[in-house]
Each structure stands twice: as C-alpha cells, then as structure tokens.
Structure 1
Amino acid sequence: MYPVWRSELRRFVLITIAGTGLGYYLGHPIEALILLLVAGNGWHILHLARMQRWFDQEQVNRLPHAMGAWGKLFSDAQRRHQQNIKSQQQLQSIINRIQDSTAALQDAVLMVDSNGALEFWNEAAQGYLGLRTPVDIGQPITNLIRNPEFKNYFDKAQYQEPLVITSPANPHMFLQFNITLFGRKDRLIMVHDVTRLKHLEQMRKDFVANVSHELRTPLTVLSGYIETMQMGADALPPRWKRMLQQMYEQSHRMGNIIKDLLILSRLENTHNDKPKRVQISELLTAIHNDAVALSGGRHKIELQIDSDKDISGFYNELRSAFSNLVFNAVKYTPEGGKVVIRWYMSQDHGCFSVEDNGIGIAPHHIPRLTERFYRVDPSRNAETGGTGLGLAIVKHVLGHHQAELRITSATGKGSTFLCDFPARCLLNAPSAQ
C-alpha cells in the first residue's frame, strides 16, 4: 500500500509550487506563500479540533468526513478502537469465567499485589478469613490476618512448604496456606480447610500414645517372667534356651519401640516448659563417654568442642537427639572405624555434627530417613536394628529448638549428620565468678 504521508507530501509540494507560481504571476510571491501556509495550518487545526471533539463525545462509531491523511487517520482510529473494544470484551469474558470458577471453589483464593494489598478473593475466603467486600479491598493482608506465624511466613517469601494456622474467623478451624509468587512479586494464595486432617492426626497421635502406654505394663510383666525363666535356663533343653533367648530379644525390642513411641508422643504435644540453659560441653562429654562404652574399644571416637556457646532448650530432648545420632554412627561403623563428634560455630549458627567413615547411606534413602519406622536395612537384624524411630525423634527435637537436620552420605564412604541451630537459640558461656 502506498504510504499516506507520501501522497500528502506530494500534494503539499504541488500546491506550494502552484501557489508560488500564481504569486509570481500576480506579482506577490511572498504574500501568496504565507497565505498558502496559513491556509494549510488552518486546515490541519480544524481537523485536530474535529478529532478532539470526536473522541470527547465518544462518537467513534460515526466516522467524520475527511480527505487525504486525515481521512485515513480517522479510519485507522475507528478500526483500532473497535479492535480494542473487542479485546476488552474478550478479556472481560475471561475474567468473568475465572471469577465464576473461583467462586465455585471450596478452597479460598486470594490475589495480593507486590505491596501485600488485597486485590481479589472469592466467597470461600470470606468464610475462612472473615474478609468483607468491598471494605477490605486494598488493605494489607497482614493487617487482616493478625497472626505472627502468618506474618513471618508471608514476609519471608519462602513458600516451598505450606503454613497451617487457625482461622482468624473461627479458632476451631485449621487452614493451610499455599502461596505462589508471580508477576512482579504479586502473590496467589490458596487456602485449604485441613481441620478434619488435623483432627485425624490428633486421633492417631492419641491412639499411638494410649496403646503404647497400655502395652508397657503387660510387656514389662512378660519381660520379667522371661528373664526369671532365663536364670534357670541351664536346666532346660537347648531348644528351650533358644526359644527363651528369642523371646527375650523380641520383648526387649518391643519395649524399645514403646519407649520411643512414648517419647515421640510427648514431643508432639505442646509443652509450656520454659527453655533452660543446656551446657553443651557437659552434655557432649557424657554422650561421648556413653559412646565409648557402647563401642567397647572397637572404634576411635573423637570429641571436638570448638565453641563455648550453649543452647537455650531442653536438656533431656537434646540428649535424646544427640545420643541417637552418635549411637547410630557407632552402630553402623565397622570395627576400626572413626566417629567424630563436633560442636562449632558456622557464621552465627551453632552446629552439632556427627561424622563417621562407616557403611554410608544410598542417596534415595536420605529424604525418608526421618519417617517413622523407615529403615535402610530391611532385614531388621537384631545386632544393628533399632526401632526405626530414632531419626523421627531427632527431627521433632530439632523442631522444638527451631533447628534443622542436614544429612550427607555416600555408600561405603560414611555419613555426616548436622544439626543447625539458629543464633536465637544460642547463649554465651556463663561468665566466671
């Protein structure tokens, strides 16, 4: 298509030449040229005013009569305006469908801008969170959900794991928040009612705790009778001796399982005890001595305390967690191996690590090691087999202390279990009196 501006330029040049020639013929070339320029500007100003009035009166559907470039400009403006209206209608249709679909969801859906202000939510969000339309539009979401855990979770912007808290509108309802970043740090928030799951989880915990407690007494009686019978085993046939030994081993193993289940049950229940200073040097020295006794001289066990920081926490829990890691290292390290127990600082974090050069762990096992009853060794050998609850206990203990467990291992090269304690859990060594 021939460009409009070229035809306009051509028309302007021809009119200018003709007007100047007529001015020379009449003897007034300068006046003719000025008159021509004034007339041309007036022509364009008139069409500019027509276009301004055309837009202001929203009469885009009525195309004004104009020639040349202005006619083309009016036509293009009308066509683009109609395309814009069509696009807006399509977008509005999509938005309406999205709003209708989100309104039908049982889960709450919220959209928050980069400043944390609410932009949109569906009907379920009103019931779950107590939001009000349109009063709460544009309000910071942390002002409407007044929960310190939610504020920390929202501001931290690390949403790999969901957050479960009670509903601000109903203290008996538990809600799970899943947040996704998009755009320029805008957030899409999905809120799911997990009250039933929380109740089922609590029922499971109560059931395990009650059953473990009830089994402890009869199992103690059985173990006592078995031990009594073993004392007179010399008068029994060899076959009976083997049976009594197996009964003793299995009852002892069952007792350990019940003990660990009770420990887990106690850890899972929120306690109101205030944390106290745990002197790490004394704790690790006691664990080191126990590990040396367990090894019986078969391993080289080193203790390295490179920091005088202590932990604000619970002594019995930390002893249980640390000893689990140390005793596992001794148990799974062949004779002649080495176990290093270490307490040190990494930046402002306190680190407790247990490193061994034992049999190691295959990579596919590591993500599941803290699951209850998960065992790398499926044979459940009495010599190496524990209850499968030790690392689950470690995980819960570290959770009570806002710490994390990191595991690195390779088959045949040993393992390192690292407990990372944040700075807020650490205490300076007490000053000498």
Structure 2
Amino acid sequence: MLSNWYIELQRVTLLVLATTLIGYLFGYPVVGLILGLIAYVVWTIRQMSRLESWLQHQELDKLPLSEGLWGRLFDSIYRQERDHQTAKRKLQTIINRIQQSTSALQDAVIMVESDGTLEWWNRSTEALLGFRTPVDGGQHITNLIRDPDFVEYFELGDYTTPLTLNSPINQSVALEMTITPFGNDERLITARDITHIEHLERMRKDFVANVSHELKTPLTVLIGYLETLIDYSDESDNRWLRIYHQMQSQAVRMQDLVHDLLILTRLETTEINVKEQPVNLKQLLEHLAAEARSFSNGRHEIQISAIDIEIDGCYDELSSAFSNLIFNAVKYTPEGGRVDITGYRDKTSIRVDVIDNGPGIDQKHIPHLTERFYRVDASRKSDTGGTGLGLAITKHILMRHNGHLLIESKLGYGSKFSCEFPLSVLSSGLPDPSN
C-alpha cells in the first residue's frame, strides 16, 4: 500500500504536468507550470483554513469533506477527537460519581493545592467548617481555619498524628483532622466529628476518677483494721495470721492501683505550666538512685551519671516519671544485675536513659507497653507489686513536658528506656553546659 505522502506527490505531479501541457498547447508552458503550482498552493491554504475553522469551532459532527492527504488527515483528526470525547465523557462520569460519593460522606473532605489554596470540598465541609460555595474557592486554607494549632499542624508537614480541635463555627463540636499528601505537593484534608467519642471519653475519665476517689476511704479503713488484727493476733494461730497478711497485701495493692488511677486521670484532664519551677536534673536522679539502692538492698549494681542542668517542669511529676522507669528496672532485673541511670544533653535534646541487663522484652510487646494494665508475660506478672499503670503515667507526664518515651529492648539483652525532651525545657538564664 502506497504511503499518503507518495500518493499526494503523484497528485501534485499530475497537476503540474497537466497545467504545463495546457500551457504548452497555448505556447506558454512556463506560465502553465506556475499556474498549476499556484492552484495547488491555494487549494492547500484552503484546506488549512477549513481545518483551522473546524478545530476552532469544535463541531465534531461537521467534518470538512476533502480528498487525498487532507481527507485522510481530516478523518484521522476526527477519529482522535471522537475517541478523546468518549474518554472525556467516561472520565467526567467517574469524577461526577466520586464527587457525589464524597459529597454524601458525613466527614468533611477538602482538596488543597500545593500553595495551600482550596481546590474542592464536599457538602459536609460547609456544615462542619463553614466553607461557602463558590465564594471561598481559591482562598488559602488558613484564612478559613485560623486555629493556631491547625496553622502550625498544616505548615509543619508532619501528619503522622491526627489533630483534634473545635469547629470554627461551633465550639461545642470536636473535630479530628487528618492531612494526606498526594500528587504534586497537594493535600487531602479530612475532618471527622468526634464530639460523641470525646463525650464518652470524658464520661470514662469521670467514672474512673469518681470510683477511684470513692474507693480510697473504704480501703484505708480496711487496711487500718487489718493492721490492728495483725498486731493483736495470736502468733500461735498461723492460719489466721497468714489470711490477714494476704488480705492486707491485696488491699494495699488495690490502694496503690486506686492511687495510680487518680494520678493518671489527673494527668489526662489537667494542664501544667512547665515553667512553674526549675528542676535540677542531677540532684533529682541522684535522689531517685539512692532510693533505688535502698529498694534493691544490695541485690543490684546501680550506677548514675548526670550533668548538672536545670529544666523547667513539675518536680513531683518528673520524679514520678523517672522513678517508674528506675524502679521497674530494679524489679525486673534478676539479682546481681546492673542498672545504669544517665542524664545528658546533645545538640537537639535532653535525655534521661535507664538501662538494665535484665531478661529484655520481645519486640512485639514494645508498642503496647504504655497501654493501661498491659503485661508482657509471666516474668512481669502482678506478684511483682506493679499496677500496670506506671509506664502509662510516665508517657503522659512526658507528653505534658513536651517530651516522649523511647523504648529499646531485645530478649536476653536487657532494656533501655529513654525520656527525651526538647532543648526548650532548659531553664532560662543558665549557661550552656556544652560550652
């Protein structure tokens, strides 16, 4: 099959020969040749004009009629345009269904351009965040959601943890916002109404706090009477004395549990001014190490190394957080083991490490250690005297001081619990210890 350009070349050649022959018959062959070429150029320009007009008006059903190369060109463009329109309709149908489905969601869905301007949002966004269609189109997201926490969260770029804030149009509505980057630095923002969940969480905390508070008095009375019974019991009657001691042990454990629950509830429901008092890190760790040595009673080697700096925070809370880690290391490390306590700073943070050479913890348990009442296995059972709330309390205390807990452990190789704080907790006016 001959190619299109070759066929068109034949057509031009025949036209030129024909006009030249006609010119020759009249005695002007050159004039005939020129007129033939001019006729072909005019015809070509006409075809180009028809093509330009057709493409400009986009009237797919009014395909210009032509022959040869131009006819095939019109047909090819027509088929491509028809396929394009078909694909466009299918794509638009998919987009419409996606928009309809997202519009039906009760959660707010917002698409944001790379520069932070609004591209699209669903109907729930108008109800939860007060966006107006189409007035707010093209606005920057922080012009409509001006909460400082959201602005910081949006600009920081770390979206691993959802953000909880109140609706800008209804402060009684709590929203959980997540941001997912996609495409060319664009972002998809979702906002979910968690008012009911927040209400249930407050009810849970209030219930735990109230029950724990109500248990304090009867437990105190029970422990007091048990101490009296033990003091006045006949030592020859070992059966009853053993029962009294078991009752006292469990009552004291319940009292410790109530105490820890009250502490945890207070940590979850109150705020702290971390600049309330400067805490000398070295003195605090040395004091806790001395208490740990007394608790160990010579069964462990406990070493401490800490720099002499002061950090802003609550002394009692920091003491509770560090002591939980130190006493856990002593309790779960076999006799003859070693516990190292270090307090230091580097270029980016202040850290307190508690390292032991105990039995270690399987990796699968580490993400759950700060959950309430979570116990690893038989080696960390309740008869060690713990309530299962110590690490949860430590985690919340560190969060209230802008810090976090890091856990490293391997079975048979001991454990390392680290409290990491930003340098901003350093007390103001103190010299830089690194100088």
Same fold judged by TM-score > 0.5?
yes
Aligned to 1:300: 301
Q: Which runs of 5+ in 2 are unaligned?
A: none
Aligned to 2:213: 213
Q: Would the alpha carbon gap of residues 24 and 339 (structure 1) be closer, same or farther in structure 2, given more than 3 Å must change?
A: farther
Aligned to 1:83: 83
Q: Would the alpha carbon gap of residues 343 and 31 (structure 1) be closer, same or farther in structure 2, given more than 3 Å must change?
A: farther
Deviates more, 1:257-266 or 1:54-63: 54-63
Structure 1 residue 327: Cα displacement: 0.6
Aligned to 1:282: 283
Aligned to 2:154: 154
Distance in 1 (CA, whole Å) between partners of 2:234 and 2:260 is 33
Find out whether 1:182 has 2:182 as its counterpart. yes
Distance in 1 (CA, whole Å) between partners of 2:97 and 2:382 is 62
CA contact (8 A) 1:377 1:385 kept: no
CA contact (8 A) 1:309 1:429 kept: no
Distance in 2 (CA, whole Å) between partners of 1:246 and 1:330 is 24
Deviates more, 1:206-215 or 1:1-10: 1-10
Distance in 2 (CA, whole Å) between partners of 1:59 and 1:199 is 60
Q: Would the alpha carbon gap of residues 429 and 327 (structure 1) be closer, same or farther in structure 2, given more than 3 Å must change?
A: farther
1:29-428 superposed matches below 5 A = 33-271=33-271, 273=273, 275=275, 276-305=277-306, 307-378=307-378, 381=381, 383-427=383-427
CA contact (8 A) 1:308 1:429 kept: no
CA contact (8 A) 2:374 2:388 kept: yes
Counting matched residue pairs gives 431
Structure 1 residue 20: Cα displacement: 6.4
Structure 1 residue 324: Cα displacement: 0.3
Q: TM-score, normalised by structure 1?
A: 0.93
SS at match of 1:416: strand
Structure 1 residue 176: Cα displacement: 1.0
Q: Would the alpha carbon gap of residues 425 and 41 (structure 1) be closer, same or farther in structure 2, given more than 3 Å must change?
A: farther
Q: Percent identity?
A: 49
Distance in 2 (CA, whole Å) between partners of 1:369 and 1:233 is 42
SS at match of 2:170: coil
Distance in 2 (CA, whole Å) between partners of 1:123 and 1:381 is 52
Letter in structure 1 aligned against 2:123? E
Distance in 2 (CA, whole Å) between partners of 1:105 and 1:302 is 58
CA contact (8 A) 1:308 1:428 kept: no
Render the CA deviation track for 1:377-432: whole Å, top value 9, x for unaligned: 45875652300000000110111012111111111210001111122223367359
CA contact (8 A) 2:274 2:401 kept: no
Q: Would the alpha carbon gap of residues 293 and 272 (structure 1) be closer, same or farther in structure 2, given more than 3 Å must change?
A: closer
Q: CA RMSD in A?
A: 2.3
Deviates more, 1:34-43 or 1:163-172: 34-43
Structure 1 residue 179: Cα displacement: 2.1
Distance in 2 (CA, whole Å) between partners of 1:75 and 1:330 is 86
Q: Would the alpha carbon gap of residues 424 and 38 (structure 1) be closer, same or farther in structure 2, given more than 3 Å must change?
A: farther
SS at match of 2:102: helix
